[in-house]
Amino acid sequence: MTLDQLTNYLTKRLQAPLPGVLAHEPLRARPNGSIIPDFTHKLPPKPGSVLILLYEENGNIKFPLIKRPQYLGAHSGQVSLPGGKAEAGETIIETALREGEEEIGIHASQVKVIGQLSEFFVMPSNFMVTPVIGFLEGSPQFKADPYEVERILQADMQDLLRTDAIREKEILAAGRFQMWAPHFEVEHEIVWGATAMMLNEFRMVIEDINH
């Protein structure tokens, strides 16, 4: 499948009903210890978005992921899609493009937006996140934000589509919660939690291409 074929397909497919929770739930991590995290929030969720940025390299379709640095927060050290909190007055697409520019150095003008996946509630950080899908032509020149990004991973779409793509193992979340985590693996990094759940919807949408 070429990038042109995939983007033409996605342009139409993303206008149809999406799998949503049917894709999210199988990748949800489960507590597996005596300490159970409490994700109740007093305030409504904050809006945000992430960017699934497709590009073609050596005949393979890829997209970038970022590894967060270690910090005192819910997503310390985790692998995620570029993205973050919406600023006042921004649309979901504007947020995804701005965050992509800030975190991985891809200018918004280079990205052609195709559409978006289902909204997703990220419980630990109280965000309502919308994945935005776009693509760029040619090879991207990534530049990691020195404060927000420890490294940029280049995920191959086959990392999601191969038959053994979804694996499971026990992890320690936030340094204290034992969790049984379904996940993908990209460049020897574990991609779990909200990012894996959103990517599983992307995977299911792509698999529909043969139906």
Can you give the CATH number for the domain in which 106 is found?
A: 3.90.79.10
Give 64-105 pLDDT, tens digit per residue.
999 988 765 554 678 999 999 999 999 999 999 999 999 999
Q: Please tell me the pTM assigned to this model.
A: 0.91
Total domain count for the chain? 1
- Helix runs in 33-114, H state only: 92-104
The pLDDT assigned to 91 comes to 96
174 is in which domain, residue-wise? 3-36+45-210
Mean pLDDT of the chain: 89
pLDDT band at 127 (very low <50, low <70, confident <90, very high): confident
